[in-house]
A and B are shown apart, each in its own frame.
Chain A
């Protein structure tokens, strides 16, 4: 078993402020209307501290980091 982290966006809460894409361009880009498009797949280990910051800094608290166990 190993632990995986996935970014999730609450699409109803998300207001398209765009801060997340500035803090985390490695994983998030914005569509033509300013709403986040996530890179698919689990969050790479080395980006976790940055992701944590993006989660905390979202002005409407629309992003979360979900931890899941993965069987190998």
Chain B
């Protein structure tokens, strides 16, 4: 059974118990929301603490601007996602499920709500819905819990982690919708689908979501999207929290949970676009998405974006290049959440892969690109 290309049906849930966590562990399933954390470890942490009071947060916030796969999945297979949530609720002895869906993802939310209306009354009684604001950090686990508890989708200090004290102070599983769909297939068929959802973006002929076998190369995934629309200049693997790669390094990369592909966005930079200007625009976006709680993130990312923009608009200069290196190293690890870390890892990859472009960049206008 695949995720997208199988019919979405209601069927009685298979009998599940704690043994499912062992099966998840044997399958090697890792979270598909971006962090790639081993799913079995997360489930076990909640299972150990649950006294019948656990909470399942179905994470469909999808705040990564280039990612579309969670929306497509919620639109096409809402029952499969709900199955994963109800299965998690049984295995982890949860008393509450929260559907946490991006507030702008209206088609996805409507699809999930239509499917929910078709479920049994005891199932429906478990579920409530919360809207994730359209912010980059809103999809982070602690931010999801914060929004559901207090109406504010900003990250909080960890520990306590959600599995220790989450929604209503109870042990909470925050799990991406695609990951839950994989678990549902595993519980029904005894095996995970062996596929992953990707969003192909930028310079490809047919940008959008594809489902590929695990282990498929980036080159084959790009071919599934109709191939490059222009000669590629670089590949952004994993979205804005990912990393730039040289085309020759990226194309043979096999897409596996271990490959560090984040939320599964593959962005192709065409030769017609300037990598320095593109990086500056993305840094500007990430700086604006700081939740402005921690100084090093709020001021640091803004200063880094400013330095990138100066290089992009006025031309390369040694002082800003040195600042980018120093600030990137200093900002890392100094936020309550991983937002600053993700931003500087992204920037560092740009400075490595496009080193020549950053050193020799001539002034030209920075055009904001979406």
Contact = CB atoms under 8 A, between A and B. Distances in A.
B129 interface: no
A34 B327 CA distance: 13
Interface string A22-61: 0000000001111101000000000000000000000000
Contact of A33 (B157, B293, B300): B300
A19 interface: no
A14 interface: yes
Question: Which of A10, A11, A37 has the most C-beta atoms of chain B within 10 angstroms of its own C-beta?
Answer: A11
A12 interface: yes
B327 A11 contact: no
A12 B336 contact: yes
A27 to B, nearest CB: 15
A35 B299 CA distance: 10
B303 A35 contact: no
Nearest to A31: B330
Contacts of A11: 157, 293-297, 334-336
Indicate the size class of the contact surface on chain B.
Answer: 10 to 19
A34 B295 contact: yes
A10 B335 CA distance: 9
Contacts of A10: 157, 336
B295 A16 contact: yes
A48 to B, nearest CB: 24
Interface in B129-160: 156-157
Contacts of A37: 330, 334
Interface in B290-348: 293-297, 299-300, 303, 327, 330-331, 334-336
Contacts of A12: 156-157, 293-294, 336
Contacts of A15: 295
B203 to A, nearest CB: 36
Nearest to B298: A33
Contacts of A33: 295-296, 299-300, 303
A14 B294 contact: yes
B260 to A, nearest CB: 25
A35 B336 contact: no
A35 B157 contact: no
A35 to B, nearest CB: 4
21 contacts: A11-B157, A11-B293, A11-B295, A11-B296, A11-B297, A11-B335, A12-B293, A12-B336, A14-B295, A15-B295, A16-B295, A31-B296, A31-B300, A32-B303, A33-B296, A33-B300, A34-B295, A35-B295, A35-B299, A35-B334, A37-B334
Which 4 pairs between the two chains have the least Cβ-Cβ distance?
A: A33-B299, A11-B294, A35-B295, A12-B293
Interface of A: 10-12, 14-16, 31-35, 37
Given A14-B295, A33-B296, 4 more contacts: A11-B334, A12-B336, A33-B295, A33-B303
